[in-house]
Amino acid sequence: MNFVMKQALGGATKDMGKMLGGEEEKDPEATKKKKEEEEERQEALRQQEEERKDKHRKMEAEREVVRQSIRDKYGLKKKEEKEAEEKAAMEQACEGSLTRAKKAIPAGCGDEEDEDEESILDTVLKFLPGPLKDMFKK
């Protein structure tokens, strides 16, 4: 019977008493031992994490060496270098200016006004009914 119960509970018979409201261990040495084991486990986890990070740093350094050799071989530049050169070019273009660099405005975007074109008021007056036209013309 004990074997069947153990199989059904998955070997958790020791914890069954605690789950059913039984007595918990009051042994101070056992609690002290558990604390020490938990501290050791936490320290081992920290050490593993540090080793993992160190391993990844080394791998990334090796990858960067390979990337740099490819850049040198094909004459490519890093993204940071490209951005720095573009920024320097922009600063050089507006070196004496107190404001930011002006954006290029396409031709015909309102810089010059043509006398031949009708004014906005004339355009609006075309669509108004007769009595309203007279009011605006006065």
Calculate mean pLDDT across residues 26-52.
Answer: 93
Share of the chain above pLDDT 90, in %: 30
* Tokens representing residue 112 in the block: 């010059």
Burial 110-135 (b: 16+ CB within 10 A, else e): eeeeeeeeeeeeeeeeeeeeeeeeee
What does the pLDDT look like over 125-134, one tens digit per residue? 777 777 777 7
What does the pLDDT look like over 61-117, one tens digit per residue? 999 999 999 999 998 888 888 888 888 877 776 666 666 666 666 666 665 555 556
pTM of the model: 0.40
